[in-house]
């Protein structure tokens, strides 16, 4: 298995064979999972090549939805690579966006753990962008699973620039899967590393972005203006958001 185009990957999420279409970042803003300021901050980093992981303790909170929504903003012309067990090394040398369904020892057919997880993180050394999800509510749990249980080198763990945690408003209950769709999902914590230092907490939902958050006002304004304009439109698909964002960047 090799790479596939970014648009074909997103179009498959927009038109799944089973289940509902994936919600875009525009939907998540409208649902108040995150606000425009935070969305523009994330876009400013992901559009410049930041690797990212989304996490939550229970299932059904929105970590996969958030991961997919952010894929619309990875740098232009990057092929998307589905990182599957025993096939992670098939990505080749050309820089890509390597996407793992989940980092988990539960071992469903597409999840990565052990040797596969280590091979996935090693791709960062060749310049690939990495993105996945994990069952974890905070940095300590994320680090424990990836570095502690799987022996991923700390330098490769730090190559994940953004670790984004999602919870139910008021906090996650202990259950593994949440069926209640009436409670608002929110981005409640974000940790950042520039690759050379350990991750630092840069966002909390009650406090917003901290003074330590690496910000570029011009890029954030660029992303916010795009999002504001798209929110006036009816289009919400992942592929359409990506197409328009890439065209917006070229204008």
Contact 80, 5 (CB under 8 A): yes
* Number of helical H runs and strand E runs in the chain: 9, 8
Tokens 């791709």 locate to 123
Question: Quick one: how far is CA 230 from the chain centroid?
Answer: 20
Enclosing H/E stretch for 133: strand 129-134
Q: How confident is the model at residue 73 (pLDDT cuts 50, 70, 90)?
A: very high
pTM of the model: 0.93
Contact 65, 28 (CB under 8 A): yes
Tokens 């092929």 locate to 79
For residue range 39-48, what is the model confidence (pLDDT) as tens digits?
999 999 999 9
- 125 in a domain, yes or no? yes
Enclosing H/E stretch for 120: helix 115-122
- 1 in a domain, yes or no? no
* Tally of CB atoms within 10 A around 244: 16
Q: How many domains does the chain have?
A: 1
For residue range 190-219, what is the model confidence (pLDDT) as tens digits?
999 999 999 999 999 999 999 999 999 999
Each residue of 202-226: b (16+ CB within 10 Å) or e? Answer: bbebeeebeeebeeeeebbebbbeb
Compute the mean pLDDT over every residue in the chain, rounded to the nearest whole number.
92
Check residue 172 and give its pLDDT. Answer: 63
> What range defines the domain where residue 110 resides?
6-250
**CB within 8 Å of 237: residues ≥ 6 apart:** 10, 11, 14, 21, 24
- 140 in a domain, yes or no? yes
C-alpha span between 51 and 98 (Å, rounded): 9
- 40 in a domain, yes or no? yes
Percent of the chain's residues with pLDDT above 70: 93
C-alpha span between 6 and 238 (Å, rounded): 10
- The residue-averaged pLDDT of 31-42 equals 97
**Does residue 232 register a pLDDT over 80?**
yes
Task: Check which CATH number belongs to the domain holding 82 and give it.
Answer: 3.40.50.300
* Tally of CB atoms within 10 A around 33: 22
- The residue-averaged pLDDT of 47-69 equals 94
- 101 in a domain, yes or no? yes
């Amino acid at each position: 298995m090799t790479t596939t185009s970014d648009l074909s990957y997103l179009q498959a999420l927009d038109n799944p064979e089973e289940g509902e279409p994936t919600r875009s970042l525009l939907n998540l803003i409208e649902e108040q999972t995150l606000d425009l300021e935070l969305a523009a901050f994330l876009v400013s980093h992901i559009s410049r090549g930041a690797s990212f992981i989304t996490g939550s303790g229970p299932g059904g909170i929105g970590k996969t939805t958030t991961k997919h929504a952010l894929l619309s903003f990875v740098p232009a012309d990057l092929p998307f690579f589905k990182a599957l067990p025993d096939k992670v090394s098939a990505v080749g040398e050309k820089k890509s966006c390597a996407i793992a369904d989940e980092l988990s020892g539960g071992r469903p057919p597409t999840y990565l753990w052990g040797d596969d997880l280590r091979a996935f993180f090693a791709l960062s050394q060749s310049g690939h962008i990495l993105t996945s999800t994990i069952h974890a509510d905070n940095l300590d749990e994320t680090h424990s699973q990836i570095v502690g249980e799987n022996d991923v080198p700390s330098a490769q763990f730090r190559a994940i620039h953004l670790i984004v945690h999602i919870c139910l408003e008021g906090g996650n209950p202990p259950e593994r899967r949440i069926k209640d769709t009436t409670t608002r999902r929110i981005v409640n914590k974000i940790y950042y590393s520039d690759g050379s230092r350990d991750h630092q907490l840069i966002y909390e939902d009650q406090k917003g972005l901290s003074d330590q958050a690496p910000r570029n006002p011009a890029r954030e304004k660029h992303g916010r203006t795009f999002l504001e304009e798209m929110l006036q439109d009816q289009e919400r698909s992942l592929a359409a958001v990506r197409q328009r964002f890439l065209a917006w960047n070229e204008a």
